[in-house]
Amino acid sequence: MRKIKTVQCIQCGKDHDFDDLDMDCTSCGGNLHIVYNYKLIKKRLTYEELEKNPDKSIWRYMDILPLSSEKHLPLPNIGFTPLYKVDKLGQNIGVPDLYIKDEGRNPSASLKDRASAVVVARALELKEKIMTAASTGNAASSLACLTAGTNLKTIIFVPEKAQAPKMAQLLVFGATVIMVKGNYDDAFELSIQASQEYGWYNRSTGYNPLTREGKKTCSFEICEQMDWESPEKVIVPVGDGNIISGLWKGFIDFYKLGIIEKLPQMIAVQAENSDAIKRAFDSGGDIEPVSGNTIADSISVSMPKDGMSALMAIKDSGGFAVSVSDDEILKAIPEMARATGVFAEPAGAAGLAGLKKAIKEGKVDDGDSVVLIVTGNGLKDIKSAIKATGKPLYINPDINELKRLVDSGKI
Ligand SMILES: Cc1ncc(COP(=O)(O)O)c(C=O)c1O
Ligand SMILES: [Zn+2]
């Protein structure tokens, strides 16, 4: 593909041929990174061309995606999720120039659809028959959604504790669902072994280098929605580290194409017991496994699968990492919902909890423009939401009972 210069290993720098790609580095097993021919792409993908393009989906960025053509695209519309300026929430927490990118508005209700769309399109180009993935739930339900209506069969590995709504999505979209008696890291290892054994095309985060390419489209949209500028800070909930590195790549692509003039700082938010990347960033040492225990299932990871590129995104952008407790994450769900109308799953709300902590620690100024990436919809985990809000009031259909409630001050 002429638009792709090389595919480089993040760890050892070895070059690989895109058209004959293994998932990871053939020398050291490191994650791969697609390097584009910006000089060539610059001739086609410009601010002026984008302004004229009526396509309101991620396919408007085809010139800088690792696909040959638009012949084999999944059906549902992906991307162009709203970017809201959330004045009330901004005032409440002391950052008036605050925005929410509502990724729960994608077809399967999470940001993962961006990655799945690109990977499914590539699998169709390659005439693959069977796709697989391991996931805490969202990547898998997204893959199942986007392979629906194609001839691809989908076999999914999820940890046995995966949230019921995510499992329901998988089953409804027709995936074969294998619940692994273990955690996400165990499901991940099994999916890789299955791919090696049976040749199934693997979409797993931090293994397939195309996932980052899909996720970067979120940053392209942010720049367009902010009048062709980037914000000062982008707050991202982090588990494996693939979303944050994908978003960073998007800003870099637009910067190298001359579409934006400055880059944002990337701020990683992790859950306290699932904070391997934060620990490595703060200590300057290697990424070491942690327990991964958190209520925010989507960012519950013991050993991050794309940790190195996440660390690079944080460092290269001059950003930082914060960790938040499960309690802080839970509180952020209704706080965000009540001030903005956006209902986030725990991982999606973790960004708000992290932003509040960063403000308290003096790491965010009240003059900064800040974008919170709300990565997944709250209906994906209603148990946690109700834990945060408490239960509703129950009465018989009797006006006197209602009166008693009003008189008691509960209404
Ligand atoms: C809703 C949500 N938020 C955040 C993340 C974290 O992304 P990553 O694992 O790439 O860091 C995920 C990943 O599953 C997710 O589904
Ligand atoms: Zn390597």
pLDDT digits (tens, 9 = 90+) for 121-169: 999 999 999 999 999 999 999 999 999 999 999 999 999 989 999 999 9
The atom of ligand 1 lying closest to the CA of 139 is 14
Count of domains for the chain? 1
CB of 276 closer than 6 angstroms to any ligand 1 atom? no
Mean pLDDT of 228-232: 97
Beta bridge partners of 267: 235, 320
Is 286 within 8 Å of 277 (Cβ atoms)?
no
Ligand nearest to the CA of 310: 1
Q: pLDDT tens digit string along 358-375?
A: 999 999 999 999 999 999
Count of C-beta atoms within a 10 Å radius of residue 10 = 19
Tell me the residue range of the domain where 362 lies.
83-109+211-389
The answer to whether position 8 is within a domain reads no
Mean pLDDT of 275-304: 97
CB of 16 closer than 6 angstroms to any ligand 1 atom? no
In the chain the first and final C-alpha atoms are separated, in Å, by 63
pLDDT number for residue 22: 87
CB of 242 closer than 6 angstroms to any ligand 1 atom? yes
pLDDT number for residue 44: 95
Is 305 within 8 Å of 299 (Cβ atoms)?
no
Query: Is residue 1 very low, low, confident or very high in pLDDT (cuts 50, 70, 90)?
Result: confident
| Secondary structure in 3-state letters for 315-358 | HHCCCEEEEECHHHHHHHHHHHHHHHCCCECHHHHHHHHHHHHH
Beta bridge partners of 240: none
The answer to whether position 55 is within a domain reads no
CB crowding 105-116: b at 16 or more within 10 Å, else e: bbbbbbbbbbbb
CB of 239 closer than 6 angstroms to any ligand 1 atom? yes
Whole-number Å distance, alpha carbon 22 to ligand 2 midpoint, is 12
CB of 31 closer than 6 angstroms to any ligand 1 atom? no
CB of 241 closer than 6 angstroms to any ligand 1 atom? yes
257: domain CATH number is: 3.40.50.1100
CB of 243 closer than 6 angstroms to any ligand 1 atom? yes
The atom of ligand 1 lying closest to the CA of 135 is 14
The answer to whether position 201 is within a domain reads no
CB crowding 236-247: b at 16 or more within 10 Å, else e: bbbbbbbbbbbb
The answer to whether position 31 is within a domain reads no
pLDDT number for residue 186: 94
The answer to whether position 259 is within a domain reads yes
Whole-number Å distance, alpha carbon 213 to ligand 2 midpoint, is 19
Choosing from 185, 298, 303 the residue with most ligand 1 atoms within 8 A of its CB, the one to mutate for a pocket test is 298
Query: Is residue 268 very low, low, confident or very high in pLDDT (cuts 50, 70, 90)?
Result: very high
The answer to whether position 220 is within a domain reads yes
Whole-number Å distance, alpha carbon 174 to ligand 1 midpoint, is 23
The atom of ligand 1 lying closest to the CA of 241 is 11
Q: pLDDT tens digit string along 41-99?
A: 999 999 999 999 999 999 999 999 999 989 999 999 999 999 999 999 999 999 999 99
The answer to whether position 182 is within a domain reads no
pLDDT number for residue 177: 96
Whole-number Å distance, alpha carbon 32 to ligand 2 midpoint, is 8
The answer to whether position 142 is within a domain reads no
Whole-number Å distance, alpha carbon 219 to ligand 1 midpoint, is 15
CB of 240 closer than 6 angstroms to any ligand 1 atom? yes
